[in-house]
Copies of this chain bind each other. A is one copy, B any other.
Amino acid sequence: MSERTILVVEDDHAIREMIAFSLKRAGFRCVEAADVSAARRAIADDHPDLILLDWMLPDVSGIELARALRREELLREIPIIMLTARADEDDKVRGFESGADDYITKPFSARELVARISAVLRRAHPESDEGLLEANGLVLNATSHRVSARDENIELGPTEFRLLRFFMSHPERVFSRAQLLDRVWGGNVYVEERTVDVHIRRLRKALEPSGYDGYVQTVRGAGYRFSPQQDRP
């Protein structure tokens, strides 16, 4: 599962650091913001997968930010978890919290924090697209995570599977190594471009016994292409 980015919006420096530390240790990428304007910048720059939002902020209240985000079409999908202090017993205010996907009352443990974040992320990205890709007898089933060549099963590693899935959903189109790294490996990873070659090789090797390795073609100076145009193997 690819790394998830969490934006932490909290004015108290010490608390923010604590949270960031816990999240990083739990394997999340973490972006911090001390106020709403910084948060807006971070949202634009880092495309967080989830926002952890203190509701008491210096400039605009966290609730205002939450409601504003909900109104913006592109940002509606980002789940929000509210941080509230126990003292804020005002019902009216608390009622508004329903705009968030979850809320956590201070004080809270690092484990609870991580658990709730995981739960919300789980719910936010439920199931991926139903996908059956086919090319001249080469079948990739995304839901069962299986690849077969004329009913013969093909074993692929995780990266090779993603690579083939990407290729099969964009046939007859050349992708540079950089594009492949971006779209198969995921946006912000630092990996040598030549690494793509190696995985192409591994994919070809796996397809070789069934004769489909020719479908993965090299375009010298440009990148690679998946081309099922030619005759059946």
Query: Which positions in A face B, CB cutoff 8 Å?
Result: 1, 12, 14-15, 18-19, 21-22, 25, 67, 70, 76, 85-87, 89, 91, 94-103, 106-116, 118-123, 126-127, 143-145, 157-158, 172-174, 176, 178-179, 181-182, 187-188, 190-191, 193, 219-222, 225, 227
Contact = CB atoms under 8 A, between A and B. Distances in A.
Given A178-B122, A190-B119, A21 B106 contact: no
Given A98-B109, A111-B123, A144-B174, 16 more contacts: A1-B178, A18-B70, A22-B101, A85-B91, A98-B107, A98-B113, A100-B110, A101-B111, A112-B190, A115-B190, A118-B190, A119-B188, A122-B182, A126-B179, A127-B179, A143-B174
Nearest to A144: B172
A34 B139 CA distance: 52
Contacts of A85: 91, 95
Contact of A119 (B111, B116, B219): B111
Given A179-B122, A182-B123, A190-B119, A95 B110 contact: no
A155 to B, nearest CB: 10
A178 B81 CA distance: 18
